[in-house]
C-alpha cells in the first residue's frame, strides 16, 4: 500500500501505541476519582496538559481542555465564545474555506440569530489581512480562521490576523491549527484559542485539545460533571491524552527533518504532475510541504481515485469529513476555480513515512490510470 492520505489521518507511532496499551492496562483509574489511584491518574494527566502547553510556548498564558477531536474543540471554541459573550455582540467572522466543523458551527449560530461574515479568499486560497481588517467592527466578538487549509495546504498569516483582531478588545481570535501543528513552525502565542487533533500527528483517534487564554471563559456544550474545570463534562481519556503528548513531542522533535523530506517528495510530484496536460495544480507555491492538491480536466477524479485504490494507492478528493456528501470542493470554488476543476480535485498528503520510491511508483501508476481510463465524458 502507498498511503498518501495523511491529511485525513496518520498512522500512529509505535511508541504511542505501546504507551496507550501500557497505560490502559496499568493506569486505568478515573482521573476524577478521590482515591489514591485516581490521584495518580490525575497527576499524569496534568503533567501531559502542562507539557503540551510548554511544547507550544503557551504554558504561562493559556489553559488546555482535553477534547475528543478537533471538531469538538472547534465547536467548543466557536459556540462557547458566542454563547458566553453574546452580551458584547452577536457578530462573528470566519472564512469561506474552513473545515466543515468550523463552517457548520457558524451556520448553526447563524440560524440562532448571529450575524456571520464569511471572508473571501484570493486565488491562492488565503484571506488577505486587509479583507479581515475592513470586516471588523466594534460588535464583532469572534474571528475564527484556520492556520493551514486542509485541502490545498495554503498557509494563513495568523500573526497578522491576530494583530488586527486584537485592536478590538471585545473580540477573540480562534485558530483551527489541525493541519499546521507539527508540520510548519508558527507562533501561536497571539491566538486566544487554538485546536487540533491527535490523529493528525501520529497519535490516536478520539483525542484532541482546545487551548485558550487563561483569562477567557466559554459556555460548555456538554452538561454533566465538572471534569476539565467545568469546561467539558465526561471522563477524560487518560491513555489517549498522554499518548497525544508523546505524539506531539515526537512530531515536533522531528519537524525539520520531516519537512525537508516531504518538501523533496512534493517538489518531485509537483514537477511530474505538471507535465500532464490535463492536470492543474491548485496548491500555492508556498503551501506546506505535506499537501499537494491537483485537478483533472479530462477525467473524473472519483473514477481515477477508485482506480488508484484498486492498485493499492490511497489519495483523497475533498475533505474526508465531507467527501461522502460533497461532490464539489467549496475550497477550490472559493479560490475561483471553475466547476470542472472544483469537481475533480485530488489531494495527495504526505507524512514522515512516505518515500521518493513511493512517489515514483505513484506517478507511474497515475499515468497508467489516465491512459487506460476513459476521460472527458466522465468529467462533468
Tens of pLDDT along 138-192? Answer: 999 999 999 999 999 999 999 999 999 999 999 999 999 999 999 999 999 999 9
| Domain chopping of the chain, boundaries | 2-6+255-364, 14-253
- Give residue-wise pLDDT tens across range 40-65: 888 999 999 999 999 999 999 999 99
Q: What percent of the chain has pLDDT over 90?
A: 87
Asked if residue 67 lies in contact with residue 76, where contact means CB atoms within 8 angstroms, the answer is yes
Confidence tier at 374 by pLDDT (50, 70, 90): low
Q: Which residue from 32, 46, 48, 102 is spatially nearest to 73, judged by alpha carbons?
A: 102
H/E element holding 74? helix 70-84
Mean residue pLDDT across the chain: 94
pLDDT of residue 37: 81
Q: How far lies 79's CA from each of 71, 220, 272, 324, in Å? A: 12, 9, 44, 26
CA–CA separation, 195 vs 64, rounded Å? 10
Nearest-5° angle of CA 125, CA 130, CA 135?
Answer: 95
Domain made up of 14-253: CATH architecture: 3-Layer(aba) Sandwich (3.40)
Instruction: Mention the CATH class of domain 2-6+255-364.
Output: alpha beta
Q: Which residue from 197, 109, 351 is spatially nearest to 118, judged by alpha carbons?
A: 109
- Give residue-wise pLDDT tens across range 205-250: 999 999 999 999 999 998 888 888 888 878 899 999 999 999 999 9
Q: Which residue from 294, 270, 266 is spatially nearest to 280, judged by alpha carbons?
A: 294
- Give residue-wise pLDDT tens across range 95-146: 999 999 999 999 999 999 999 999 999 999 999 999 999 999 999 999 999 9
pTM of the model: 0.94
Q: Verify whether residue 321 is a known catalytic residue.
A: yes
- Give residue-wise pLDDT tens across range 289-300: 999 999 999 999
CA dihedral (107, 111, 112, 118) positive or negative: positive
DSSP structural state of residue 28: -
- Dihedral of CA atoms 120, 103, 147, 300 in degrees, nearest 10, equals -80
Which of residues 68 and 224 earns the better pLDDT score? Answer: 68
CA–CA separation, 106 vs 304, rounded Å? 34
3-state secondary structure of 40: helix
> How many Å is the Cα radius of gyration of the chain?
21
Least confident of 174-183, 195-204, 314-323, 339-348: 314-323
Amino acid at each position: 500500500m502507498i498511503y498518501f492520505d495523511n491529511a485525513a489521518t496518520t498512522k500512529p507511532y509505535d511508541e504511542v501505541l505501546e504507551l496507550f496499551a501500557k497505560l490502559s492496562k496499568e493506569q486505568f483509574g478515573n482521573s476524577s476519582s478521590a482515591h489514591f489511584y485516581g490521584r495518580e491518574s490525575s497527576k499524569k494527566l496534568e503533567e501531559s496538559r502542562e507539557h503540551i502547553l510548554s511544547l507550544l510556548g503557551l504554558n504561562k498564558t493559556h489553559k488546555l481542555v482535553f477534547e475528543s477531536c478537533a471538531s469538538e474543540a472547534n465547536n467548543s471554541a466557536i459556540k462557547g465564545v458566542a454563547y458566553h459573550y453574546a452580551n458584547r455582540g452577536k457578530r462573528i467572522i470566519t472564512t469561506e474555506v474552513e473545515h466543515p466543523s468550523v463552517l457548520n458551527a457558524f451556520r448553526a449560530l447563524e440560524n440562532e440569530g448571529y450575524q456571520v461574515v464569511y471572508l473571501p479568499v484570493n486565488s491562492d486560497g488565503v484571506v488577505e489581512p486587509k479583507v479581515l481588517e475592513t470586516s471588523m467592527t466594534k460588535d464583532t466578538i469572534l474571528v475564527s480562521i484556520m492556520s493551514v487549509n486542509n485541502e490545498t495546504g495554503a498557509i494563513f498569516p495568523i500573526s497578522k490576523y491576530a494583530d488586527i483582531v486584537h485592536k478590538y478588545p471585545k473580540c477573540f481570535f480562534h485558530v483551527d491549527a489541525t493541519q499546521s501543528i507539527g508540520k510548519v513552525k508558527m507562533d501561536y502565542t497571539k491566538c486566544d484559542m487554538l485546536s487540533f487533533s491527535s490523529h493528525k500527528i501520529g497519535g490516536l483517534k478520539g483525542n484532541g485539545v482546545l487551548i485558550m487564554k487563561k483569562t477567557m471563559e466559554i459556555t460548555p456544550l456538554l452538561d454533566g460533571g465538572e471534569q476539565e474545570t467545568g469546561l467539558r463534562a465526561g471522563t477524560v481519556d487518560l491513555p489517549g491524552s498522554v499518548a497525544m503528548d508523546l505524539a506531539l513531542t515526537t512530531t515536533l522533535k522531528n519537524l525539520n527533518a520531516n519537512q525537508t523530506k516531504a518538501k523533496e517528495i512534493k517538489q518531485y510530484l509537483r514537477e511530474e504532475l505538471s507535465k500532464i496536460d490535463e492536470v492543474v495544480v491548485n496548491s500555492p507555491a508556498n503551501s506546506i510541504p505535506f499537501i499537494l492538491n491537483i485537478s483533472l480536466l479530462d477525467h473524473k477524479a472519483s473514477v481515477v481515485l477508485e482506480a488508484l485504490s484498486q492498485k493499492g494507492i490511497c489519495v483523497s478528493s475533498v475533505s474526508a469529513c465531507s467527501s461522502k456528501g460533497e461532490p464539489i470542493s467549496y475550497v477550490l470554488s472559493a479560490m475561483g476555480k471553475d466547476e470542472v476543476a472544483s469537481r475533480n480535485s485530488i489531494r495527495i498528503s504526505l507524512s514522515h513515512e512516505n518515500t521518493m520510491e513511493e512517489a515514483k511508483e505513484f506517478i507511474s501508476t497515475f499515468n497508467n490510470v489516465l491512459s487506460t481510463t476513459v476521460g472527458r465524458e466522465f468529467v462533468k
